[in-house]
Amino acid sequence: MKDTYLDGVERATIDDKIDAIAKKMAKKEMGGMPMVTAVQNERGEVYRVITVDGLSAYIALVQSIAGLGLEDVHKDNLNPGKYDSLFVFK
């Protein structure tokens, strides 16, 4: 797992909850293709990028982040580009 904060970008107010989720996902990785998830702050800026290896860890990650009330704007896009998931505040 790779978990990166973008320099100079303010963290979301719920980052501590996202951090706890990310730490759990490291244990769920079972290998596979890297899946990239980005999280925006309340200003609409990507501040954090989490990359997990494998589909099972990715699904667990995105379901957990969605459970916090954030929305994945790429959830219905099979070719999203730079990020497999992009979470924004509703």
pLDDT digits (tens, 9 = 90+) for 11-64: 999 999 999 999 998 888 888 999 999 999 999 999 999 999 999 999 999 999
85, 74 contact by CB (below 8 A): yes
- Say which residue, 85 or 79, is predicted with more confidence: 85
78 Cβ contact partners less than 8 Å away, ≥ 6 residues apart: none
What confidence score (pLDDT) does residue 11 get? 98
The rounded distance, in Å, linking the Cα atoms of 61 and 6 is 19
What confidence score (pLDDT) does residue 87 get? 98
